[in-house]
Structure 1
Amino acid sequence: MNQEKKVAVSSDEIDIRVLIISILKFLHKNFVVLSVFAVLGVGTAIAIYALSKKVYESKMILQSDILTESYAERITESLDRLIKEDNMQVLSVRLNITEEEAANINKIEIESVKQTTASKEKEESIFIITCEIKDKSILPKLQDGIISLLRNNEFVKIRVKQRETYYTNLIAKIQEEINSLDSLKKRLFQGKPVYGKSAEMMLVEPTSIYSKIIDLNKEQINYKNALELVNSIQLVEGFIAFQKPAKPKLSIALIGGFVGGMLLAFCFLAARWARQTIKES
């Protein structure tokens, strides 16, 4: 039984060796033909690569706690449909660019990435906008156009206005409390009797008043900072004009040219072999 297994294994090894030898003989015999077609294939690929229109890719990062992922998806679908329909007139109006500039856009994709702020009070979205364009010079105008498109949505503008009102009222209310505590502090230092609201009557210690005023000032500064950043869209990183095109890739073109050349070579050799066989028969 073991001897039969050894014979079978030995037979398989011989078959593999014969196959390898046959392949090597075939390559040696047809080396010139294979080389010529390989060079032709690679040369054709390089020529096509050099003549083809280069497509560049760039990404922009935006931050917002107002925009939603579903809204970003609708914007992507709308812009993508306009590009596929070759509707440059509407696309140029939406992005505030010329029709010639819009014709250089291959793709605009908006992807949403959720993140939680340090305070854990609200969830913000990071939007990654990926654009494929044929002309890198349109990137600055395209960046402004996309941001303007997102900011000028009616829903977004209403939310921004609501937040502006909210923070403005909070800042004014805190200022009233600070003024009231300042007045109380002055009366205490002047030795005058304290009259006022019950909340003021509780703060009879000067140190408590100082501490409360400091806390309110910190809170007011935070709200003022929030008011300055109330804009619906914050630019984290703009488009960068890279020198290397994203499409077509030279490496893929070379591989494709080589493989194509080899396929043509095998077709040529197969046709030649078939013709010789017919003649001999």
Structure 2
Amino acid sequence: MKDIEEAGGDEAAARQVLAARLQEWYDEGGLLWAIVERAFPTLKIADKSVDTIKEALEALGGNPLDKLYSSMAAVSPTLSNMVDAKVQSAVAKGELPEGAGVPSSLSRNLSVNSLDNLSDAAINPSVLRDSLFPYVRGGNTKDISVAAASIEIEGHTQYLLSVSGRNWKENAPGTVKIDGVEYQVIRYDSGAVSSVVNGANGSTNYNHAEQKIMSYLQETYSGQQARVSVGVQNTSVSNPGMCSGCAITSNRFAENNPLFDIRFFEGSLGVNP
């Protein structure tokens, strides 16, 4: 495979070459724009050509290919699997050393799925949302993002609940029971998982509902073997699920916790643009 050969058999170099081949993957399956649109929701361009996309990304600052590559596993499991197949094929052909595996930025222990595929009602925000009326500011359950999670560790399951920003009332309890399930409420983002810029206006994903949960889990359980499931529901019609920042930090969260088996399920209430 020519692109692997160009890397000289070095895994890090292979990662860079594979990232540079995003144009080829776009031509093959139309994946590039889908990733860009999901990772950079504020990016608006009329011409979807690769050159135009790259120019628009460069205008955001930094290395656009690096940004895309660091988030593609969270944004597009399909593309992540494609990279996995490319690298494994190269290993089989002797173009990469045995055990090279997937480039390190593509976390094997993370999957991102539609909220429609979530079978556990206990962590499904669409099921829980209306029950939050007594606890959130102004009883406004329709204009906030909600995240709920379970972590299974050593035969015990803990349930977590979080809402975006400071929408959980100060005088509301830190533990609530909904439909017989007890949840620990994660009010604030501890910063254990570093936040990232979340758009052209310079805002970050600090204190986002799912970011709070990721920080709590890393701070509390890092280094232990666990199964983590997270349901995330925002309110956007055009950009459902995790924001572009949380798409990136979820992958970072997985990289930081290789013993976690992490599954995200994302969707939207669909009441805002």
- When normalised by structure 1's length, the TM-score is 0.23
Higher relative contact order (CA 8 A, sep 6+): 1
Please identify the structure whose Cα radius of gyration is greater: 1
Q: Which has the higher helix share?
A: 1
Q: Which has the higher strand share?
A: 2
